[in-house]
Amino acid sequence: MAEIRYTTADPKGVLTGVHYMDGNHAACEGALAAGCRFAAGYPITPSTEVVERFAARIPTVGGVFIQMEDEIASSICLQGGAWAGLKAMTVTSGPGLSLMMEHISLAACLETPCVFVDVQRGGPSTGLPTLPGQADMQQVRWGAHGDYEIIAIAPSTVQECFDFIIDAFNLAEMFRVPVFFMMDECVGHMTEKLVIPKAEEIKVVERRFTTKPPEEYLPYKPDEDLVPEFPYVGKGYKFHVTGLTHDERGYPVINAEAQHEMCWRLVNKIKKNAPKIWKYEEDQVEGADVVVLSYGISARVSIKAIEMAREKGVKVGLMRLITVWPFPSPRVKEIASNVKAIVVPELNIRGQVAREVERVTAGTTNVVRVPHAGGTVHDPEVILEAIMEAAK
């Protein structure tokens, strides 16, 4: 069985030192530190700086960047790079993510390890290219057709844009799944201190290449953790993989049995391994009357609101999601059973993550949405009001 192989970062890609840069640039540096050596992208505000920096850095690190003709091309070009054996990413925002949907489905079906960075902006349609939103959260999970599960991570600070994109690449390799790095325009364009450690302090997961010889290798025969080993291109494996429903050999099999096998495994691969994937941060949740559950830039604003509420004597905690998908349902259910209310501020109107909280808590607590159409971040006072109201 192919085990998860850890190694330390290749120093060529690690810009060790103390920096002052914005989230987009930090994400690029994190990708390089994680071992990303292939990127295909298309310009779209507010994400473009990630690939612009990559284009400038990669020639001296060793790798390739190509600006493709559109997002549809980028979203499959990076998979070509990934199948060739490289860690690969693409970068986009809302409208580009919408274009990428078919290839997200392909990545999930082929089980391509890769990272999609989405620096969210106001939508719908062309929307607010230069202003923040968090309205792609459901799209990233359900937007592509068919049954599959993906991983989505939301950083809140520039440091996290660096640290957590490394996690994103590691998870992509561990679970052979597309991982979505859900930034937003605010986090992407804010400038903060970034500390990049020495390469030997950065833990990186290697590609789960097969240890079997070509005659024994099957592209989609899963290991115990439901993840199949990855083939080598160019070493005589002569594998075939297809986006059609397929069996362990990788050959298309067009019937309900094969569909059942394949789709359940794609879903369970993430669901059953979710405990290894969940990452969240809690502050004073134990004993709280109200918990604010948020992610990305909205979580940072929430910290201010929570501070103000605590000054008024409210016992309020923060549950900050770092992995948004898979959703940490057991922990959220547990919190719900102990609190009066969960307040969910996010930069979208329809409660894209709030509705997941509502669903998993199933009426055991009061879920208070704090929606916002985007374009700027919440006023902390608005979140404070929601907390105060919920605490009554």
The binding site for another protein (CB under 8 A) comprises 12, 37-38, 40, 59-64, 66, 68-70, 72-74, 76-86, 88, 102-103, 106, 110, 231, 233-244, 251-252
Task: CB nearer to another protein: give 38 or 327.
Answer: 38
Instruction: Give phi and psi for 342, each to the nearest 5.
Output: -115, 125
Task: CB nearer to another protein: give 68 or 373.
Answer: 68
Shortest reach from residue 256's CB to another protein, in Å = 19
- Give Cα separations from 163 to 29, 89, 91, 256 (angstroms): 10, 16, 17, 42
Tokens of 391: 């605490």
**Of 157, 138, 124, nearest in space to 373 by CA:** 124
Shortest reach from residue 40's CB to another protein, in Å = 6
Task: Report cis status (omega within 30 of 0) of the bond before 46.
Answer: yes
> What is the C-alpha separation between 309 and 198, in angstroms, rounded?
40
Task: CB nearer to another protein: give 60 or 255.
Answer: 60
Three-state secondary-structure class, residue 335: helix
Most distant pair of Cα atoms in the chain: their distance:
69
Task: CB nearer to another protein: give 255 or 286.
Answer: 255
Shortest reach from residue 134's CB to another protein, in Å = 28
Task: CB nearer to another protein: give 66 or 263.
Answer: 66
CA-based torsion, 283, 286, 289, 292: positive or negative: positive
Torsion of CA 271, 275, 278, 279, to 10 degrees: 180
DSSP state of 200: G
Shortest reach from residue 82's CB to another protein, in Å = 8
Shortest reach from residue 283's CB to another protein, in Å = 42
- Under 8 Å between Cβ of 280 and 250: no
Task: CB nearer to another protein: give 115 or 306.
Answer: 115
Shortest reach from residue 148's CB to another protein, in Å = 15
Instruction: Give phi and psi for 381, each to the nearest 5.
Output: -60, -35
Shortest reach from residue 145's CB to another protein, in Å = 11
Task: CB nearer to another protein: give 84 or 349.
Answer: 84
- Under 8 Å between Cβ of 108 and 177: yes
Task: CB nearer to another protein: give 134 or 210.
Answer: 210
Shortest reach from residue 215's CB to another protein, in Å = 13
Shortest reach from residue 308's CB to another protein, in Å = 49
- Under 8 Å between Cβ of 134 and 352: yes
- Between strands 114-122 and 178-184, the pairing is parallel
Q: H helices of 62-157, where?
A: 71-83, 94-99, 101-110, 137-142
Tokens of 12: 């060529």
> What is the C-alpha separation between 341 and 323, in angstroms, rounded?
22
Task: CB nearer to another protein: give 2 or 66.
Answer: 66
Task: CB nearer to another protein: give 102 or 206.
Answer: 102
Three-state secondary-structure class, residue 217: coil
Residue 246 β-bridge partners: 252
24 by Cβ neighbours in 10 Å (0-12 / 13-18 / 19+) ranks as buried
Shortest reach from residue 270's CB to another protein, in Å = 22
Tokens of 305: 């609101």
